[in-house]
Chain A
Amino acid sequence: MHIPDGFLNPAVSVSTTAISAAILAGSLRKVNQQVEPQQIPLMGVLASFVFLIQLFSFPVGAGTSVHLSGALLISIILGPLSGFIIITIALIAMALLFQHGGIFSLGANALNIAGVGCFLGYGTYRLIPGDRVSIVIAGLITGLVSSALLALELYASDMLDLSAGLLSMLSIYGSAGLIEGLATLMIVLFIRKVKPEIMGSMV
């Protein structure tokens, strides 16, 4: 869920932007040191890919659909640091070109979607043995934590009643996270079958 401008108070807006900017600067420094020339256009085209799948409605049956964030997928395929950069760029583009999200809420959105998806999601995927189960659990945990963060940020901005808000956010985005985990698993299995050499190609 992308938070639009106008819902976070200045304190929340500034602090989340500072956190996300620090993560972004760290990731950029590390990736800049290690990036190989052919990976530069790759990151660009993958940013386009993420931008596209965030707009694409993924059908889940019963007439409903979800939008994947792609954070877990990109981190598993490339690596969490380059993943964070790519997802953040896609989020900025979504805010500027498609009016999903905002400028002053960008830090919060990057933290909730890219930060949680790339670092916590990827960490869970690596920590839990048995990679099929671990991808689904990573998706679920990502969904739960980023919705909890979203609820907290809105609560701190006096836009949401914490107990009721947390419960509804957790149930909606927890299930969206589970679906993202399942979809990520299917996509990763497909790529392993068709073009396994692209797995884990960056930091």
Chain B
Amino acid sequence: MNHAFLDRYATLESPLHRLPASIKMLFTLSALGLLLLVVPFVSHTWGWVLIITYAGLMSLLAIISRVPLTFLLTRSTLVLPFSVLIVVVNYFSGNFSFNQMLITVSKSLLSIFAILLLISTTPFNSILKQLSRWGASRLMIIIFSFMYRYFFLLVGEIESLEKAVAMRHSSLSGWKRFKTYANMVGMLMIRSFDRAERVYQAMQMRGFTGDLS
């Protein structure tokens, strides 16, 4: 099981990785803000100028970061099923011009790209630390860090449950299959409760009393 597959490029070595998390987070937020809150209010020509400048800047940062471009590009395309569906429907119903269609798709692709670049150059824990410095709720940050830490263990649990189901039933269909999967999710939930109990015992041993401050 790969331990850090959620943000696997975050520990690479590059000038971008060395920058403090706060700067990268502020930059990503303002880049997204520019794209999503400013572009809708300017003319199409200015919209395109902003989008192309933004795309150029992002590509430059991506090259500096040494994160594989294939990874950034393939992950960015995850948004395409949604955006293509929406723009095609709007185009054929006459609501969108061809230009609007392209602007919308580019905006959605570039937003995803900016988030990917942040998450591939900044370890998740540094993002959480920075959020906490900015005053995010202590409880939320703790839940976040537990979520991140135990995710790969739960993936292991569900893989073993799936294996167990596959071994006992070579083929399941219809209602039976539905019920088996529901039981599997139920079992995963029960195991999550058990896991949390063991985690709590370990925390108690180290002196945790429930004080979040």
Binary interface encoding of chain A residues 170-184 relative to chain B, with 1 for a CB under 8 A from any of its CBs, else 0: 000000000000110
How many cross-chain pairs have Cβ atoms below 8 Å apart between A and B?
A: 223
Q: Is A48 a contact partner of B210 (Cβ separation < 8 A)?
A: no
Contact of B79 (CB < 8 Å), options: A4, A56, A93: A4
Contacts of A73 in B (CB 8 A): 189
**Chain B min CB distance to A81 (Å):** 12
**Chain B min CB distance to A60 (Å):** 7
Closest B residue to A37 using CB positions: B210
Chain B: interface residue total (CB-CB under 8 A): 77
Stretch touching chain A among B12-20, B42-50, B57-65, B178-186? B178-186
Contacts of A203 in B (CB 8 A): none
Contacts of B145 in A (CB 8 A): 44
In which size bucket is the chain A interface? 35 or more
Q: Specify which of A31, A51, A52, A60 lies most central, judged by the most chain B CB atoms within 10 Å of its CB.
A: A52
A154 to B89, CA, bound (A): 13
* Residues of B near any A CB (own CB < 8 A): 6-7, 28-29, 32-33, 35-37, 40-41, 75-76, 78-79, 82-83, 86, 89-90, 93, 95, 104, 107-108, 110-112, 115-116, 118-119, 124, 127, 137, 139-140, 142-151, 154-155, 158, 173-174, 177-179, 181-183, 185-190, 192-193, 195-197, 199-200, 203-204, 208-210, 212
* Residues of A near any B CB (own CB < 8 A): 1, 3-7, 9-10, 13, 28, 31-32, 35-38, 40-49, 51-53, 56, 58-61, 68, 73, 77, 85-86, 89-90, 92-93, 95-100, 102-104, 154, 158-161, 164-165, 182-183, 186-188, 190-191, 194-195, 198
